[in-house]
Amino acid sequence: ATAFSPTITTFVQPQPVPSPQDFVLWSFFNTMFCNPFCLGFIALVFSIKARDRKMDKDLAAAGVYGRVAKHLNIAALCLGIVVTIVGIVLLVMYSNLQAGRN
């Protein structure tokens, strides 16, 4: 006599690998509006390189270029904000100085 048992089949689906970010829109914004020392333009170049590497399925290189673009975007945005604030303060101080002379 032979005994038959039910067959159990399991399927393991691999987790999808997240695609690295390329920050192209942020880089474009920084290139147009916050571009001290051309950091926004350089960030845009690295963002485009990250997007190209992502299209070529080279996710490691895309991640490296994406991180560089992110850091350049942070630096460009911070410097752009600081330069804008300093410019406004200097403009207000200059206008107050001119108003005091009259």
Instruction: Give the pLDDT score at 6.
Output: 75
Domain boundaries, the chain: 38-100
pTM of the model: 0.78
- Per-residue pLDDT averaged across 30-51, rounded? 95
Instruction: Give the pLDDT score at 2.
Output: 65
Tens of pLDDT, residue by residue over 44-99, are 999 999 999 999 999 999 999 999 999 999 999 999 999 999 999 999 999 999 99
Instruction: Give the pLDDT score at 1.
Output: 58
**DSSP string over the chain:** ------------PPPPPPPPP--HHHHHHHHHH--GGGHHHHHHHHHHHHHHHHHTT-HHHHHHHHHHHHHHHHHHHHHHHHHHHHHHHHHHHHHHHHHHH-
